[in-house]
Every structure is written in C-alpha cells, then in structure tokens.
Chain A
C-alpha cells in the first residue's frame, strides 16, 4: 500500500523568502505524485502533478516540484513566497493514475511580513 510522509507540520517563512516543503512517499511501482493546496473554507486545488518524464515539474502559482526516485521524495518549492500562499499543503500519491489517492498529513504554511 502507498503512503506519504510530510515531516513538517507547520512552517513559517518571511514574505519574499524561498520555500521548500518536504514530501516522502512509499510505493512499490512508479508513483503518481501530486501537490494540493487547501485554503481556509475552500476546496483542494491541484498545484502540480508528476506522472512520468521530466522530474522537475512546473505548476501553478509559481510552484515547482522535483521527483527524486533515489530519495523517494517529491519536494515542493517556490523561489519567492507571497502572503497569499499561506495555506495548508498536501502531498499525495496515487496508484494507477487517479484510482486511489493517499494524502500526507499536510504542512501548514504561515507567511510573515
């Protein structure tokens, strides 16, 4: 069975600083990996996904993530954080596309002026 670990429960960064959110996965085959963002009172929004090909994936809102098979990681990055990026971020792994998606426990991002 697949699983996802997000080791950081809460992260605080200054506006304009760079950001990296960590994600480690466990899955026997080639994983389908996702990053979602959840703002208060809103649904989950897909930031980016990796199915195959280039291991550096570009997403919306200036986010990118890099798939590293050797480290079983799919870390999310942004070079310059904006106050509007404050939200909860979930990493997820899917089996066979969208057959079943398992979510990590989430990382809450706080952005300070």
Chain B
C-alpha cells in the first residue's frame, strides 16, 4: 500500500532556531501534499497545500514567512519552521495525494516539535 514517511518523528529545538520537516511519498507520486497541525486533544488544522513546482497555498491565519514550504519533487515536500518559538510546539502531519487516478490521500505518522 501507499506509504508516506516523515522525518524526523520528533525534534526539540531552541527558541529562535529553524527546523525542517520532510514528508516523502515512498511508493507513489504526489503532485499535491498537505501540511496539518494538530494541537493536543484537538483536531487537525490544515496549514497549507503544497504543489510540486509551484508556491504553496496557505490557509488564512498561517504565516507563510514563518512556515516555509518547498515541494521540489513529486515525492518530497518540506516544511521549515523559521525562528521557532514555544507556541510553535505542536504535532505536524503531512499527507500526500496519490496522482494515480483515485487521488487517495495518505497521511504520514507526524512530527512532534518541541521548542524550548
């Protein structure tokens, strides 16, 4: 079946530093990937839609300069949290939409970010 990986699975960083999270579709191509943020005991909030070769589309209220998204290939999208602050601590989940006809969306296991 289709698999999406995320790396790292968890990361701790100091306030003011930047962190990059990778999302890879392992056995299918994904022109479109999505980035979500999940707060404890809350739902997933869509942050942005990432399209290969073009600029990401950000949801209202999401700072594009803070959450940099790069979708450089059909199997890789990255989310960089710049100048991280403790309030950026969260669980970040990506999903990749399968280009093969059914456009099924598959989710990665998530990345736990803790900013100290």
Contacts and interface: CB of A to CB of B under 8 A. Distances in A.
B46 A102 contact: yes
A22 to B, nearest CB: 15
Interface stretch (A40-48, A69-77, A78-86): A40-48
Given A43-B110, A44-B93, A98-B97, A103 B105 contact: no
A43 B109 contact: yes
Contacts of B4: 43
Contacts of B104: 46, 98
Contacts of B43: 90, 103-106
B108 A43 contact: yes
Contacts of A98: 32, 97, 103-105
A101 B35 CA distance: 11
A97 interface: yes
Interface in B18-39: 32, 34
Grouping DSSP codes into helix (H, G, I), strand (E, B) and loop, the B interface class, with mixed when no group exceeds half, is strand
A103 B44 contact: yes
Interface of A: 36, 41-46, 90, 97-98, 100-106
Given A43-B4, A46-B104, 10 more contacts: A43-B108, A43-B109, A43-B110, A46-B105, A46-B106, A98-B104, A101-B34, A101-B46, A103-B44, A105-B43
23 contacts: A36-B107, A41-B109, A42-B109, A43-B93, A43-B107, A43-B108, A43-B110, A46-B104, A46-B105, A46-B106, A90-B43, A97-B103, A98-B103, A98-B105, A100-B46, A100-B49, A101-B46, A101-B105, A102-B46, A103-B45, A105-B42, A106-B42, A106-B43
